[in-house]
Amino acid sequence: MRIAIIAGGRTPERDVSLRGAHRIETALASLGHDTWTVDPAERKLVETLRERPADLCWLALHGKEGEDGTVQRLLDLEQIAYTGTRALECELTFDKVLAKDVLRRANVPTPDWVVIEGSALRDLGAGASLSTAVDRIGLPCVVKPSRSGSALGVAIVERAADLAGAVMAALSYSDAAIVEQRVSGTEIAAAAIGAPLELLPLVEIAPKDGVYDYGARYTAGATDYWAPARLEAATAAAASDASLRALDALGIGSIGRVDLIVDEATQPWVLEGNVSPGMTDTSLVPMAAAAAGLTLSQLCDRIIQASDTA
Amino acid sequence: MAEFSIDRFVDRYAARAAGMTASEVRALFAVASRPEVVSLAGGMPFVQALPDDEVADVARSVLAEQGDVALQYGGGQGSIGLRERLVMLMAEEDIEADAEDVVVTTGAQQALDLVGKLFIDPGDVIAVEAPAYVGALTAFGAYQPRFLPIEIDDDGMIVEQLEQALVRGERPTFVYTVPNFGNPAGVTMSAGRRRHLVALCREASIPIVEDNPYGLLRFEDEAEPCLRSLDPENVIYLGTVSKTFSPGVRVGWALAEQSVVQRLVLAKESADLCSSNLTMLITERWFSDDALWRGTLAGLVDAYRSRRDAMLDALEEHLDDEAVWTHPGGGFYVWVTVPNWLDTKALLAAAVERQVAYVPGTAFYPDGRGANQMRLAFCYPTEERIRDGVARLGSLIHDETDLYRSLGG
Q: Which residues are within 8 A (CB) of A281 and not within 5 positions of it... i.e. 6 or more apart?
A: A19, A23, A220, B6
pLDDT digits (tens, 9 = 90+) for B178-200: 999 999 999 999 999 999 999 99
A 162-191 near B (Cβ less than 8 A): 164-165, 167-169, 171-173
Asked if B383 and B307 touch (Cβ cutoff 8 Å), the reply is yes
Distance from CA of A94 to the nearest CA of B (A): 18
Alpha carbon of A212 to those of A192, A261, A267, B262: distances in Å? Answer: 21, 12, 20, 47
Distance from CA of A92 to the nearest CA of B (A): 22
Residues in A closer than 8 angstroms to B405, CB to CB, are 127
Q: Distance between CA B254 and CA B114 in Å, rounded?
A: 10
pLDDT at A204 over 80: yes
Q: Distance between CA B13 and CA A187 in Å, rounded?
A: 26
Residues in A closer than 8 angstroms to B407, CB to CB, are 121, 127, 130, 164, 167-168
Q: Distance between CA B321 and CA B309 in Å, rounded?
A: 19
Minimal-distance CA residue of chain A relative to B398 = A122
Asked if B211 and B178 touch (Cβ cutoff 8 Å), the reply is yes
Cβ contact (<8 Å) for A10 and B341? no
Q: Distance between CA A223 and CA A200 in Å, rounded?
A: 20
What is the average per-residue pLDDT within A23-39?
A: 97
Asked if A157 and B400 touch (Cβ cutoff 8 Å), the reply is no
At residue B123, what is the residue type?
G
Of A15, A126, A226, the CB nearest to B4: A226
What is the average per-residue pLDDT within A13-40?
A: 95
Decide the pairing of beta strands B156-157 and A198-199: unpaired
pLDDT band at residue A308, thresholds of 50, 70 and 90? low
The alpha carbon of B336 is separated from its chain's Cα centroid by a whole number of angstroms, namely: 17
pLDDT band at residue A310, thresholds of 50, 70 and 90? very low
* B258: helix, strand or coil: helix
Residues in B closer than 8 angstroms to A218, CB to CB, are 22
Cβ contact (<8 Å) for A221 and B7? yes
Backbone φ/ψ region at B53: left (φ over 0), alpha (ψ -120 to 50), beta: alpha
The alpha carbon of A291 is separated from its chain's Cα centroid by a whole number of angstroms, namely: 20
What is the average per-residue pLDDT within A278-298?
A: 92
Phi (first) and psi of residue B122, to 5 degrees: -55, 135
| Strands, E assignment, B63-177 | 102-106, 125-130, 146-153, 156-157, 174-177
Cβ contact (<8 Å) for A169 and B34? no
Mean of per-residue pLDDT scores for chain A: 92
Residues in B closer than 8 angstroms to A15, CB to CB, are 26-27, 30
For B254, how many CA atoms within 13 A lie in the half-sphere containing its CB? 30
A 95-124 near B (Cβ less than 8 A): 118, 121-122
Cβ contact (<8 Å) for A168 and B13? no
pLDDT at A178 over 80: yes
Q: Distance between CA A239 and CA A234 in Å, rounded?
A: 9
Q: What is the pLDDT of residue B14?
A: 85
* B310: helix, strand or coil: helix
At residue B7, what is the residue type?
D
A197-232 burial: b if 16+ Cβ within 10 Å, else e: bebbbbbbbbbeeeebbbbbbbbbbbbebbbbbebe
- Size of chain B, expressed as the number of residues it contains: 409
Minimal-distance CA residue of chain B relative to A119 = B403
| A287 near B CB under 8 A | yes
Alpha carbon of A130 to those of A138, A154, A169, B235: distances in Å? Answer: 12, 17, 15, 55
Quick one: CA dihedral A131, A136, A141, A145, positive or negative?
Answer: negative
pLDDT band at residue A213, thresholds of 50, 70 and 90? confident
Residues in B closer than 8 angstroms to A287, CB to CB, are 4, 6
Distance from CA of A308 to the nearest CA of B (A): 31
pLDDT band at residue A309, thresholds of 50, 70 and 90? very low
At residue A177, what is the residue type?
A
- Size of chain A, expressed as the number of residues it contains: 310
Q: What is the pLDDT of residue A220?
A: 77
Candidates A13, A171, A188, partner chain B, best to mutate (most B CBs within 10 A): A171
Q: What is the ipTM of this complex?
A: 0.80
Minimal-distance CA residue of chain A relative to B18 = A222
- Give me the tens of pLDDT residue by residue for chain B, a chain 409 residues long: 467 666 777 778 888 887 777 777 777 777 777 888 999 998 999 999 999 999 999 999 999 999 999 999 999 999 999 999 999 999 999 999 999 999 999 999 999 999 999 999 999 999 999 999 999 999 999 999 999 999 999 999 999 999 999 999 999 999 999 999 999 999 999 999 999 999 999 999 999 999 999 999 999 999 999 999 999 999 999 999 999 999 999 999 999 999 999 999 999 999 999 999 999 999 999 999 999 999 999 999 999 999 999 999 999 999 988 899 999 999 999 999 999 999 999 899 899 889 999 999 999 999 999 999 999 999 999 999 999 999 999 999 999 998 888 887 6
